[in-house]
């Protein structure tokens, strides 16, 4: 018997990479659902899957989930632009829709793996550990924390395992469509700085480039999602590299790979809610998922930049 797996937001960055990996999994059929508000059809050109245009809380889709049509649900659909301040819209799209999916999956006993975010930690001191320092700085981070709290209320009565994955700063193939969709606002800073350099512009960083983030390569993110298929119990897990690096580090690695150095322009940070230092504590990720990252920032950026230089767009095709 073939397994049928649902990926919501499957035309987006992380969703399309998950769909690509699952489509290469033996005995697996993949249904991608996306409203295409931020996802892009070109991400799915080389992904062998069924595609449906609808909201993730579409009544017909929820009925399918409740009826047991899927072996698992990967819920990636969300508003991911952290600069959106419409509180009602953010909670409706991110939190309310997720609650509807959990209600349907409880009926069928379907495993749900969903995208949370390191935005739940706000500017709490690093390293960031699940259950500690959950003080989001914006409505996006709050909507993800609210999702985690909704999931926790289902743990005891949900017949199947629920896994939340708090993504840190994800980078890698599959995000180039963001150039056209939102003017690069939600693309990784690695892609943004690469595009600046290719346009002959010097790198631009908030003063003075010593902010620290946990950058995690898309291959590691996908592997964490696949590991969640076999997680023995419900919970929330960080998905990061476990090591914080500065923005200046990114510029240096990019310069080395492009063999081209320019003086960095530093400017004031206009965002009061900006996270200054994120770093994933991976204790629970190791225990619950049996997962740990394999890609260093240097290795991940090297592969990514090589693919960008070759004109690659869309997700990685081989996992």
Could you read off the pLDDT of 142-173 as tens digits, one per residue?
999 999 999 999 999 999 999 999 999 999 99
Q: What is the pLDDT of residues 43-85, one digit of tens each?
A: 999 999 999 999 999 999 999 999 999 999 999 999 988 888 9
Let me know if residue 228 belongs to a domain.
yes
User: Please, what's the largest Cα pairwise distance for the chain?
Assistant: 58
209-263 pLDDT, tens digit per residue, is 999 999 999 999 999 999 999 999 999 999 999 999 999 999 999 999 999 889 9
For residue 279, is pLDDT > 60? yes
Q: Provide the CA 259 distance to its chain's centre, in angstroms.
A: 30
Active-site annotation holder among 140, 167, 171, 304: 140
Give the pLDDT band (50/70/90) at residue 109: very high
Domain count within the chain: 1
Structure tokens at 92: 């409706």
Domain membership of residue 303 (yes or no) is no
Distance from C-alpha of 170 to C-alpha of 241, rounded to nearest angstrom: 10
Identify the three-state secondary structure at position 34: strand
Which among 167, 178, 194, 304 is annotated as catalytic? 178
Give the CATH number, domain containing residue 117.
Answer: 3.40.50.720
Helix runs in 134-217, H state only: 139-154, 178-181, 189-198
Q: Write the DSSP symbol of residue 116.
A: E
CA distances from 8 to 107, 113, 134, 264, 310 (A): 19, 11, 26, 39, 29
Domain membership flag for residue 208: no
Is residue 155 annotated as part of the catalytic site, yes or no? no
Does 267 reside within a domain?
no
Task: Indicate if 140 belongs to the active site.
Answer: yes
Asked if the structure places residue 290 within a domain, the reply is yes
Residue range 7-29, pLDDT digits in tens: 999 999 999 999 999 999 999 99
Domain housing 68: 3-173+215-242+278-295
The answer as to whether 258 is a domain residue is no
Tell me, yes or no, whether 248 lies in a domain: no
Q: Is 275 strand, coil or helix?
A: coil
Residue 109 domain flag: yes
Write out the H or E segment, with its range, that includes residue 165.
Answer: strand 162-167
pLDDT value for 179: 62
């Amino acid at each position: 018997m073939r397994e049928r797996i649902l990926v919501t937001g499957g035309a987006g960055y992380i969703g399309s990479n998950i769909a690509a990996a699952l489509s290469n999994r033996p005995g697996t059929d993949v249904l991608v659902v996306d409203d295409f508000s931020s996802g892009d059809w070109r991400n799915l050109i080389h992904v062998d899957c069924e595609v449906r245009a609808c909201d993730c809380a579409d009544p017909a889709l929820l009925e399918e989930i409740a009826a047991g049509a899927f072996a698992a649900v990967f819920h990636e659909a969300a508003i991911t632009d952290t600069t959106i301040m419409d509180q009602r819209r953010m909670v409706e799209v991110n939190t309310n829709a997720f609650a509807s999916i959990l209600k349907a999956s409880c009926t069928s006993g379907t495993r749900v793996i969903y995208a949370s975010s390191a935005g739940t930690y706000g500017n709490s001191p690093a390293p960031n550990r699940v259950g500690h320092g959950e003080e989001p700085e914006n409505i996006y981070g709050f909507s993800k924390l609210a999702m985690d709290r909704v999931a926790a209320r289902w743990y005891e009565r949900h017949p199947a395992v629920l896994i939340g994955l708090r993504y840190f700063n994800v980078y890698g193939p599959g995000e180039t469509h963001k150039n056209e969709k939102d003017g690069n606002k939600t693309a990784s800073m690695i892609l943004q700085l690469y595009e600046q350099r290719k346009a002959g512009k010097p790198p631009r960083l908030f003063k003075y480039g010593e902010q620290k983030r946990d950058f995690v390569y898309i291959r590691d993110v996908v592997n964490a999602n696949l590991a969640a298929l076999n997680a023995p119990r419900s919970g929330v897990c960080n998905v990061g590299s476990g090591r914080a690096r500065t923005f200046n580090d990114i510029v240096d690695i990019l310069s080395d790979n492009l063999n081209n150095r320019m003086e960095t322009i530093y400017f004031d940070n206009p965002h009061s809610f900006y996270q200054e230092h994120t770093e994933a504590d991976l204790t629970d990720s190791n225990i619950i998922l049996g997962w740990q990252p394999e890609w260093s920032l240097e290795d991940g950026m090297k592969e990514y930049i090589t693919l960008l230089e070759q004109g690659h767009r869309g997700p990685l095709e081989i996992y």
